Structure 1
Amino acid sequence: MTQTPNPALVRYITTAIPFVNAAPHLGFALEVIHADTLARFYRQRGDDVRLLAGTDENSIKNVRAAEAAGETVFDLVERNAARFQALPESLNLSYDDFIRTSVDPRHPPGVIRLWQACCERGDIYKRSYKGLYCVGCEQFYKSDELAGGRCPEHDAPLEEIEEENWFFRLSNYAEQLRDLYRQGTIKVVPHARQNEISALIERGLEDFSISRSAGRARGWGIPVPGDPGQVIYVWFDALANYITALGYGTDEALLARYWADANARDHVIGKGITRFHAVYWPAILLSAGLPLPTRILVHGYLTTEGRKISKSLGNAIEPAVYAERFGADALRYFLLRHIRTTEDGDFSLERFEKAYKSELAGQLGNLVHRTLSIIERSNAGALREPSKELVEHDTLIQHALSVEETVTAHLNAYAFDRALDAIWKLVAEANKYVADQQPWAHAKAVAAAQTADERQTAATRLNDSLYSVASTLQIIATVLTPFMPSIGAQLLQKLGLEEGNDGHRPSLTGAKIAAGEPLFPMDPVDP
């Protein structure tokens, strides 16, 4: 954003890596859009940001899906992973890296090294175990965690599993984890989720299984070092991606910059996997002697008709369908503003279409098109320097400048919805300003002026009123860019401007302004 930036910080931002038992759905799109918006925001401020996404491919869930489809696990994983890898194009994402855990050559050596580091610490041992297992979650549950005997996440019965596995001594780290959260070394956002984690730690932590039999996994996965009859449990494997993608166990130059020495290590995840990221993962890192994440940013679930959108529940919505019809930025806008960042939110086509027509086309789009059209007609597509009075006292420009700080504060606090609420409050004020100032009336006054003084007075009023709105649109374009990157760039282009990351706001004076086509067609058609 346009300000004198702080010295550049090094930030590492990751999404969770989803199972590839089916195509990506809108619930996961919500998460990657969250992470991408943060990455773009911090890059805009001049920070050195690395954004990682990927796919979790070494799971029994994927094995079962392949068996049900009558194909090999490799073929199923390849087909669905390709669809996840295509999301940056359809959702306008800016990944710096993408890791696939079954084929990326960086991953197995890093997972094995992490295993060995925990072994050397004395935190891995083998024993027999019997428990209730949900393949959908890839986790064991205690009976008191179930909802009527069924998985609370998938509303499905659990399997009773009895086998000999390798375990991680999570119980060794309860006191350290308790202190880390009390001291704020790791922050979970929102704080209510951190309270849940603290309560979980207080109830006592039990060691957890980190392998499964190769037979049950059909041989799919990374073999346990020295024990080929076992493969490494999906969560130990999957969580490691955050550091294997940086070269842990292979080439650690990136690891030093974006993990060991980074100012911020942020994981963006859904609420259903908070335990793994806020308890299991920090304990594994402590065991291996590695730095910890700094923040765990937890979003709610996307629902449809009140039910979580899930591949397992059969109500998944493919994001590319809506992005192709309405534009990726419009979909990003709806998910970021109308789904409250850390809460569950319901998606429907009706609500999306209403927001598109009313808020995007009707409010922002209309403001842009009518203002720039007046500038084209009345000022030959250019603005002069505004009067001193406007610069010093115009309330719209002052509000616009304050919105930059408001948006920054909300994004730093992981509150996309509040940031966009603030931007749209400014859009509403700008629309009211246009209605009150009536620049078209000033244009008529210029044409009807009888004397040079009358013409000069009317022309100054016209230029000032248009300059105020155009300057506000310039700020809107800048603060909107992390959320809606294409729309932000298009708006700056309409204003005849480009904006970089150096904190400098280009002058509107003399810029070639052109309304062009509307930012948001009022009636987008099916592709």
Structure 2
Amino acid sequence: MTQRFYITTPIYYVNGTPHIGHAYTSIATDVMARFKRLDGYDVFFLTGTDEHGQKVQQAAAAAGVDPQSFTDRVSADFRAMTDAMGVAYDDWIRTTEQRHKVSCTELWRRIAQAGDIYLDHYEGWYAVRDEAFYDESELTTRPDGTKIAPSGAPVEWVREPSYFFKLSAFQDRLLKLYEEQPDFVAPSSRRSEVISFVKGGLRDLSVSRTTFSWGIPVPDAPGHVMYVWLDALNNYVTACGFPDENAPRWPYWPADVHVVGKDIIRFHAVYWPAFLMSAGLPLPKRVSSHGWWVVEGEKMSKSLGNVIEPRKLVETYGLDQIRYFLLREKPFGGDGSMSHPAIVSRINVELANDLGNLAQRTLSLVARNCGATLPARGEATEDDAALLAAADALLAQVRVHIDRQTFHEALEEIWKVIRAANGYIDRQAPWALNKTDKVRMGAVLRVLVDTIRVVATLLQPVMPGSMARMLDQLGVPADARTFAALATRLNDGAALPPPQGVFPRYVEPAA
């Protein structure tokens, strides 16, 4: 039976426009989904938009439209951005859909039946921008007296009737979860942060609001709408068909990986497992959080005017080039800086020169000197064997890094082989062998073709369009591009198409 794999992005909040942070999360998740599909898994990849809450209601009012019209427009923009990034998701969920309202209502009922919800009133500090409540100890005070949440959002004192979730009752169970499943939160720095937060003591969580109406109604409680995070987190089971456990997608639950930004780790690693424990549902296996991008050393903000629109990056540099840069430039869990020189360096040095030139040199020599057909392997020399062994070992190495979401290290392992292949072609000099030993020349070129094939196959999740073109030129049939197919050699003598460059160098536009 094929093993299932379920991966999600966070659903994106529709109070604003898509930016590079959203694109980064979606691309990283897409790379994992594509990798698992090529590795033989039955993958379900979910993304979508989070559309309720006070912030959305306010943004809609400011735009002069009703909330549903506002969310329809912004959700469509997020979907267009996601499509433009080459993200191959299986379902796009919106929290305003009827299926989600049914699912949230049932989750609430189960939590209530477990005795974990009670009515009281909420009084405390609330950040509309974060849709989150904060303890006094978490706040800082500006000189003008304004209190600020850890995220930088202003908070306001709120008092209103509210239903509460007994989060405090789950402290020990959560700590046990983190201890027994050390990979539940990644990276380790975020895990430590989550454990510290939970050990510091959990307070019961306000899970309904009465001061606005744009949300899912609390069952049997007129005037109350569900706290937006209870609503939003539940999307992951909604998409699997909850509460219908006979739904075709229910077997995908629990999720293998929730990919999230570091700013929402608390909601996913503390609140979400507690909700699921209360409702008697299985827990996700892993919450993997990533850092932020800064631009030329500055954090992105509207006031600075440096918020990056991902579609414009693609127009400037190319889709696969941007996908590669985002995963190559920084460790997934940490912050990273984005700059024009850094992007150009990755394109020109690593893509155009290291990989593109290697493939172009190899395939041009095959076209000119081997009748444009795939030469046969010869008796392997020590140099041949070393390069082929490195290529053969690559899948296992990359698989480990993908499973850990250490994408930059996966790419570095691949580039080690690319650099080794460039060293090999320079040492073996097949252009010189053409004059002295054509059989050996053919054997050298075949070692290179077989090595490039492995590299291009493993790079498909990151750069699907470019690697499809490279595999076309290597004569790899469309149905032989899975990882399992690497075990089968290409046929000697197969005709190869004329070689064409895959990665043009980036040239600065004329002033």
For normalisation by structure 1, the TM-score amounts to 0.90
| Structure 2 residue identity aligned to 1:85 | R
Secondary structure of 2:36's counterpart equals helix
CA separation in 2, counterparts of 1:313 and 1:105? 39
What amino acid maps onto 2:149 in structure 1?
A: C
Q: Deviations over 1:22-77 (max 9, x none)?
A: 22110111111111111111111111110000100012221222222233222221
Counterpart check, 1:143 vs 2:143: no
1:186-230 superposed Cα distances (whole Å, 9 cap, x missing partner)? 6111122112211212111111111111xx32x211111112211
Per mean C-alpha deviation after superposition, the further-off stretch among 397-406 and 23-32 is 397-406
Q: Say if 1:304 and 1:347, in contact at 8 Å, map to a contact too.
A: yes
SS of 1:419's partner is helix
Q: Is the counterpart of residue 171 in structure 1 residue 153 in structure 2?
A: no
What whole-Å deviation, never above 9, does each CA across 1:85-124 have from its counterpart, x for those lacking one? 123431111101110111x221000000000000101111
1:187 aligns to 2:187 (yes or no):
no
Report the secondary structure of 1:385's partner residue. Answer: coil
Q: Taking structure 1 as reference, are residues 354 and 231 closer, same or farther at Cα in structure 2, changes over 3 Å only?
A: same
- AA aligned to 2:485 is H
Change (3 A) 1:296 1:470: same
- Is contact 2:130–2:153 with CA below 8 Å preserved after alignment? no
Q: Give the 5 Å matches for 1:178-327.
A: 178-184=175-181, 187-213=184-210, 216-217=211-212, 219-250=213-244, 252-259=246-253, 265-309=256-300, 315-327=306-318
Q: Taking structure 1 as reference, are residues 284 and 98 closer, same or farther at Cα in structure 2, changes over 3 Å only?
A: same
Partner of 1:523: 506
Q: Kindly report which structure 2 residues correspond to 1:39-438, keeping only aligned pairs within 5 A, or say none.
A: 39-102=33-96, 104-148=97-141, 149-153=147-151, 155-184=152-181, 187-213=184-210, 216-217=211-212, 219-250=213-244, 252-259=246-253, 265-309=256-300, 315-390=306-381, 394-438=385-429
**Which gives a bigger RCO, structure 1 or 2 (Cα 8 Å, sep 6+)?**
1
Deviation, 1:502, is 7.0
Q: Name the CA distance, whole Å, in 2 between partners of 1:66 and 1:60.
A: 10
Q: 1:524 to 1:253 in 2, by over 3 A?
A: farther
Partner SS state of residue 386, structure 1: coil
Structure 2: how far apart are the matches of 1:241 and 1:206?
A: 24
Question: Take 2:299 and 2:8, find their aligned partners in 1: how far apart are those partners?
Answer: 22
Q: Hey, what's the Cα distance between the residues in 1 that align with 2:102 and 2:54?
A: 21
Tell me if 1:486 matches 2:465. Answer: yes
Q: Would you say the 8 A contact 2:208–2:224 is kept in 1?
A: yes
Aligned pairs for 1:2-21 within 5 A: 8-21=2-15
Pick from 444, 465, 475 the counterpart of residue 496 of structure 1.
475
Cα 1:330–1:382 change in 2 (3 A) is: same
Partner of 1:53: helix, strand, or coil? strand
Q: CA deviation at 1:511?
A: 2.6
User: Shift in Å at residue 310 of structure 1?
Assistant: 5.5
Gaps of 5+ in 2: 142-146
- Conservation of the 8 A alpha-carbon contact between 1:326 and 1:524: no
User: Which of 433, 438, 443 is the aligned partner of 2:434?
Assistant: 443
Asked if 1 retains the 8 angstrom alpha-carbon contact of 2:290 and 2:332, the reply is: yes
The share of aligned pairs that are identical, in percent, is: 40
Q: Contact 2:241–2:250 at 8 Å: present in 1 too?
A: no
Unaligned residue ranges in structure 1 (runs of 5+): 1-6, 446-457
Spell out, residue by residue over 1:306-361, the C-alpha distance to the aligned partner (whole angstroms, 9 max, x if none): 34435698642111111233222111100101021110111122311221122111
Contact 1:282 1:292 in 2 (8 A): yes
Instruction: Deviation per CA, 1:142-164: give whole Å up to 9, x if none.
Output: 222124432222x2321221111
Which 4+ runs in 1 deviate beyond 6 A? none
Q: Cα distance, 1:497 vs. partner?
A: 0.7
CA distance in 2 between counterparts of 1:112 and 1:282 reads 18
Q: Say whether the 8 Å CA contact 1:497–1:511 is kept in structure 2.
A: no
How far 1:367 sits from its partner (Å)?
A: 1.1
User: Equivalent residue for 1:470?
Assistant: 449
Deviations 1:461-513 (A, max 9, x none): 21011111111100001111121112222111110112244712343322322
Conserved 8 A contact 2:8-2:259? yes
Cα distance, 1:471–1:501 mapped onto 2, change above 3 Å:
closer
